Amino acid sequence: MKKITIEDVAKRARVSKGTVSAVINAKSTVKPATRDHILEIMKELNFRPRGVARYLKNGAQERSIGVIIKDLSYPFYTSIAEGVSEYAISKGYSVVIASSNDNNECEKQLSHLFSAKDIKGVIIAPVVEGTSEIEHLFRLKMINYPFVLLEDVKGIQANVVAIDNLKAIKKAVKYLIDSGHTKIVHFAGPAQSSHTQERIEGFRHAYSESSLIFHKDLIVPIGSHYEESFNKTLEFFKNKSQKDYPSAIVCFNDHQALAVITALRQLAIRVPEDISIIGNDDIYYAKMYPTPLTTIRAPQHDIGTKAAEILIRNIESSTLLAVERVFLETEFVVRNSSRVLNSK
């Protein structure tokens, strides 16, 4: 199979190599009509820009993919990265893993670096801070650079591998309702995250299918980082009397849940005797928390494997493939941080 080059694009588009290069590098020197024409030719030919190619001693080109995760310290992402690595290595690819440190600008720089340095494609756990913050993802699509997202991003059609958050949270809340809980709140994650919005919707759906009445005060923005979640939990309970406490809290993720449990301990509120806590992800140390955590188990390794499979399939295809959106099932895991209030 002939490798499509920048010369092929320039010849088909009837422009110079320099003009094609300027489009690839998002230079403002190219007229919009010319840029759009070149981008269409790139898609027709399934052309992908190359950076400085690396070669092994035997002359074979090194093949590698990138992974941009939000937080290297959070086991949810490291488990996904392990799944990516195992599959990629089995297909002859090396893997470069980087952390955006939950910073959109850092993610943008890393995505540009990967696309410019002949890394064949990238898997991204996106940091979404508003519609203006996904410009780099549009650029990757414009230059036909293969990528897979680990979260759905509104406004961009891209390959996605994630879990069915709505269904997962709905299952957790239904468990609490069936266990006799009537005062349930959801500690939500970052406002711009699609995972946050999907989990809020799952919470609302569970309420709508029960006799309980949903109101907006049941959704409490707490965030996902430990310090922020710890402090906002203290703030939430500061002016509440015990009779106004919820009987259960469904957390955005396990990291947040640990912060919540720690804050409740400082307030002398017992888990689960006073308040039941449910997490999300089932990271490997959730069962080792001060109170082992009832949580939603996400197939982290499988997410990584599937994302790598889709990415490599796109990298190796000679034609532009249809977008794939895969949402994997979760499992509800009951441990000691939740309790049944009735005898059902």
Structural domains of the chain, ranges and CATH numbers in brackets: 6-45 (1.10.260.40), 64-163+300-328 (3.40.50.2300), 165-298 (3.40.50.2300)
Tell me if 118 sits within 8 A of 24, measured CB to CB.
no
Contacts of 278 (CB under 8 A, 6+ apart): 172, 175, 176, 248, 249, 250, 251, 257, 293, 294, 295, 296, 337, 338
Q: In the numeric block, which tokens belong to residue 142?
A: 């414009």
Q: Helix or strand or coil: residue 29?
A: coil
Per-residue pLDDT in tens (0 to 9) along the chain, 344 residues: 567 888 888 888 888 888 888 888 777 788 888 888 888 888 888 887 765 444 444 444 578 999 999 988 889 999 999 999 999 999 999 999 999 988 889 999 999 889 888 799 999 999 876 555 788 998 898 888 999 999 988 888 999 999 999 999 999 999 999 999 999 999 999 887 889 999 999 999 999 999 999 999 999 999 888 899 999 999 999 989 999 999 999 999 999 999 999 999 999 999 999 999 999 999 999 999 889 999 999 999 999 999 999 999 999 998 889 999 999 999 999 999 999 998 55
Contacts of 15 (CB under 8 A, 6+ apart): 34, 38
Q: In the numeric block, which tokens belong to residue 46?
A: 């399934």
* CA nearest neighbour of 145 among 51, 8, 32, 80: 51
* Cα–Cα distance, 217 to 179 (Å, whole number): 22
Distances (CA, A) of 178 to 41, 181, 184, 210: 57, 7, 12, 10
State the pLDDT at residue 60. Answer: 44
State the pLDDT at residue 34. Answer: 87
Q: In the numeric block, which tokens belong to residue 234?
A: 């203290």
* Cα–Cα distance, 256 to 267 (Å, whole number): 17
State the pLDDT at residue 58. Answer: 45
State the pLDDT at residue 61. Answer: 52
- According to DSSP, residue 299 is labeled -
Verdict on whether the full-model pTM lies above 0.85: no
Q: Helix or strand or coil: residue 161?
A: strand
* CA nearest neighbour of 119 among 63, 160, 75: 63
Q: Helix or strand or coil: residue 219?
A: strand
Cis peptide before 272 (omega within 30 of 0): yes
* Cα–Cα distance, 342 to 254 (Å, whole number): 26
